[in-house]
A and B are shown apart, each in its own frame.
Chain A
Amino acid sequence: MIKETTIQSLLYLIVFAPLAGAILNGLFPRMLSRRAVSVIGVGLPFVSFGATLLALWGFLGLRAANPEFPFVTAELFQWIVSGPIHVDFALYLDPLSLVMTLIVTGIGSLIHLYSVGYMHDDASYARYFSHLNLFLFSMLLLVLGRSLLLLFVGWEGVGLCSYLLIGFWFDDMAKAVAGKKAFLVNRIGDFGFLIALFFLVFHLGGTLDIPDLREVVANPTSIFRTDTAMVTLVTLMLFVGATGKSAQIPLYVWLPDAMAGPTPVSALIHAATMVTAGVYMIARLNFLFVLSPVTMAIVATVGAATAIFAASIGLVQNDIKKVLAYSTVSQLGYMVLAVGVGAFGAGVFHLMTHAFFKACLFLGAGSVIHAMAGEQDIQKMGGLRRKMPITHATFLVSTLAIAGVPLLSGFFSKDEILFKVLALQPAAGPVVPGLNGLWFAMGIGAALMTALYMFRLYFLTFSGELRSHDAHPHESPATMTIPLIVLAVGAAVAGYIGLPHPRLNVLEHWLHPVFADGAAALVNTGSHALEYGLMGVSTVVAFLGIGLAWAMYRGPWREVPGRLHASLGGMYRTLWNKYYVDEAYDAVIVRPLIAGSRWIHRWIDAALIDGIGVNGPARVLAFVGGAARRLACGDVQAYAAALAIGLAILVIFVL
């Protein structure tokens, strides 16, 4: 039995162990051997993971003693005390953050281990692990921060680490630019988040502490219940932050470019953890979001649109990592759709299963790229099944999971979302009638495309014959395959903690105290019959997608992709160019911004500030000095005359 005070100590260990790794590897890279760097960089995340497991055990004990046990909080120090604003540097472990911490430290540790093999020959080995540990620290701060402000610190921290790691090979200009793009696009979202915090502080009572906020909101007479417009504004601004971090329309554009970073980074940051921060934040603030049905509808619509939009782009991409990137955007769309309709538990469930299979897919892709000596074009791959049996097996399991094949994790989580999309309605009635049906249709469409593009990827990569002749693929070392196996097992079985039965859905029960307020604002109109019926539908859809992929890339319809390409050239090009979104942003936002900045530089900076503000006083002083200079003629007698004149003036006035 672990006591509550012990859990508090464990919380510090969980958060600060990766920070220690970041500091050691970041500040003393030359004093540490490669082996020491690996031990520190991988060992400390595992320490963090171990502490999380202990904390889980302790929390389970507390829950067993008291089924309504809410949370453990550990306050390190008072951070900001200013008027009505009171922010503690406090950590906060509740069922939701515990689940997230398990995902972050568990998958994070595996990916650290994988990195030992993947980054083995890199010159900046210590810098890599220092950044990756720093990311883990920031992410844990984001997850465990008790105050929204502390969450925001983590939010910014993961953004910084994302930037640093995307541009890890910064001597390649394209990669440096990709890092910059990720950072700037994220800043737009962060700005929305920050505005939301300001509104919370100055218009909605001032507390940023999440449990306090929940208590305030629960009061039926609080301003949150009366000022719906303000609540809608705040939640929308928070959602803007989420679109930046979780790569939703319109701010998703950074994530595909983020694939410039090392592949383990893509797996950890840009698939499993950081990009889920927006979903986590909405789930964390579910009690606030459900107060505004309008915001919820917008969140769900954006999520559904992102899911189908990104999936359609994924259909035609040829870069193995780009396909997975668009797949990630699409799956994030599912999660956002889930929290948008109020299925917070389902969203977190899918977040968790996705973390397993997508991390596994990315690490598998990394293994493939490693084996192909840096080649990322799937048109040049093929036949890797025999050369890389472990990678192939794990990749196949994860692909089946993401495609929604029954009894694997993705099937359960995706299905729960689709069911909840149809079933859940705001208690006050739908914002727009029929919207749920539209979302469901988009979700099913995205599911079909997911199965299709994932198996296209799988067939082109692993089956058939190798299409490149100068590559000599080989299986990766154990440090890379062990994480793959563990993650593949996770991808296969993680779904069983959320089985679609009221008694068997462990995760739902576990998270219930967190989402109780949110769930109270919604009504469940679905039945179990509907749920099981939908399972059948999505099974059919999954196999339909897989079958289509097989037929077009392995089976009798092999000439179909080429014919489609020829007859639907315009549409194909649009997809290939990702709907020209980057070009549109470039024309509508980036270029006018650059032109405006040039103008401001020319007229405000150079002319006004430098010309008048800085050089102006200097010129005036030079002029006055030039005039006054004549007084200092060096003639002592003139000085004596001045003395006499001054004395005369004094005498006239005084005597």
Chain B
Amino acid sequence: MAEQIVFYVLAVGTVLGALAVIMPPFARNPLHAAVALLATFSLLAGLFVMLSAHLLAILQILVYAGAVMVLFIFVIMLLNLRRQDFGEFRATPWKILGGVAAFLVAVRVAMVAGASVANSTAADLGTPALQSFGGAYDVGWALTTRFFLPFEATSILLLVAIIGALVVARREGGAR
């Protein structure tokens, strides 16, 4: 029972946070939107814990709530964006249709994927094989064995992204 209460509180908070990111009252001010996004990330980390994804919950806080948010806020500060720089919704019929389509896609994919998990009850983490489910050991094992190639590819991707970001954001005309 307590678990359900926690879930609903977290779930409702997450959705509200996400809406706050995109809805005008908050999103007029980019800093407000950033704070709403921070809340969303944090609440999601709680939900991750409820799913026994301990390592990822911690990474969520570190990477999103930490690094990504700092980047966003840093850029907002750097560009010194004011309210009027943030336009309103621009909801043409075509875009609304696009939003609805995106929603339908998500619903349909979730339905199909959910149906494919035959057992709708959670796996029993009491079994010896799942003793350390979601911990650093298990995830690390998977990353360094089965997902070794994607893991290394990701590191290269990060390197490329760093260099790309530098090149793109560099002042035009080369050296200062």
Q: Please say whether the chains A and B touch (CB closer than 8 A).
A: yes
A interface residue numbers (CB < 8 A to B): 637-638, 640-645, 647-648, 651-652, 655
- Among B92, B105, B108, B109, contact of A644 (Cβ-Cβ < 8 Å): B105
A648 touching B102 in the complex, CB below 8 Å, given contacts A655-B108, A655-B109, A655-B112: yes
Q: Would A644 and B94 count as touching, CB distance under 8 A?
A: no
Interface residues on B, range: 10 to 19
A644 to B105, CA, bound (A): 8
Give the shortest distance, in Å, between A634 (CB) and chain B (any CB).
14
Q: Would B101 and A644 count as touching, CB distance under 8 A?
A: yes
Residues of A within 8 A of B108 (CB): 651-652, 655
A645 touching B97 in the complex, CB below 8 Å, given contacts A651-B109, A655-B109: yes
Give the shortest distance, in Å, between B4 (CB) and chain A (any CB).
30
A647 to B101, CA, bound (A): 8
Q: Would A641 and B98 count as touching, CB distance under 8 A?
A: yes
- Among A638, A648, A655, contact of B101 (Cβ-Cβ < 8 Å): A648
A640 to B102, CA, bound (A): 10
Q: What's the count of A-B pairs with C-beta under 8 Å?
A: 39
A641 to B97, CA, bound (A): 7
Residue interface mask B53-74, A partner, CB < 8 A = 1: 0000000000000000000000
- Among A644, A651, A652, A655, contact of B98 (Cβ-Cβ < 8 Å): A644
Q: Would A645 and B112 count as touching, CB distance under 8 A?
A: no
Q: Would A645 and B98 count as touching, CB distance under 8 A?
A: yes
Q: Would B94 and A638 count as touching, CB distance under 8 A?
A: yes
Please name the residue on chain B nearest to A642 by beta carbon.
B98
Question: Can you list 17 A-B contacts with CB-CB less than 8 angstroms, sorted by A residue number?
Answer: A638-B92, A638-B94, A640-B98, A641-B99, A641-B101, A642-B94, A642-B98, A644-B101, A645-B98, A647-B101, A647-B105, A648-B101, A648-B105, A651-B104, A651-B105, A651-B109, A655-B108
Classify the interface of chain A: helix, strand, loop or mixed.
Answer: helix
Residues of B within 8 A of A641 (CB): 94-95, 97-99, 101
Please name the residue on chain B nearest to A648 by beta carbon.
B101
The 3 closest A-B pairs by CB, nearest first: A641-B98, A648-B101, A644-B102
Q: Would B95 and A637 count as touching, CB distance under 8 A?
A: yes
A565 to B101, CA, bound (A): 103
Residues of A within 8 A of B99 (CB): 641, 644
A638 touching B104 in the complex, CB below 8 Å, given contacts A651-B109, A655-B109, A655-B112: no
Residue interface mask B94-127, A partner, CB < 8 A = 1: 1101110110110011001000000000000000
Give the shortest distance, in Å, between A377 (CB) and chain B (any CB).
87
Residues of A within 8 A of B102 (CB): 644, 647-648
Residues of A within 8 A of B95 (CB): 637-638, 641
Residues of B within 8 A of A637 (CB): 90, 95
Give the shortest distance, in Å, between B87 (CB) and chain A (any CB).
11
Give the shortest distance, in Å, between B101 (CB) and chain A (any CB).
4
**Known contacts A638-B94, A638-B98, A644-B102, then 12 further A-B pairs from the complex at CB < 8 Å, ordered by chain A residue:** A637-B90, A637-B95, A641-B94, A641-B95, A641-B97, A645-B101, A647-B105, A651-B105, A651-B109, A655-B108, A655-B109, A655-B112
Give the shortest distance, in Å, between A653 (CB) and chain B (any CB).
11
Give the shortest distance, in Å, between A29 (CB) and chain B (any CB).
62
A647 to B95, CA, bound (A): 14
Residues of A within 8 A of B90 (CB): 637
Residues of A within 8 A of B94 (CB): 638, 641-642
Residues of B within 8 A of A643 (CB): 98
Residues of B within 8 A of A647 (CB): 101-102, 105
Please name the residue on chain B nearest to A637 by beta carbon.
B95
A651 to B110, CA, bound (A): 12
A643 to B99, CA, bound (A): 10
A648 to B98, CA, bound (A): 9
Please name the residue on chain A nearest to B104 by beta carbon.
A648
Give the shortest distance, in Å, between B176 (CB) and chain A (any CB).
30
Give the shortest distance, in Å, between A446 (CB) and chain B (any CB).
93
From A637, A641, A642, A647, residue with most partner B Cβ within 10 Å: A641
A638 to B98, CA, bound (A): 8
Please name the residue on chain A nearest to B111 by beta carbon.
A655
Give the shortest distance, in Å, between B140 (CB) and chain A (any CB).
34
A643 to B92, CA, bound (A): 15
Give the shortest distance, in Å, between A636 (CB) and chain B (any CB).
11
Residues of B within 8 A of A655 (CB): 108-109, 112
Give the shortest distance, in Å, between B39 (CB) and chain A (any CB).
25
Please name the residue on chain A nearest to B107 by beta carbon.
A651
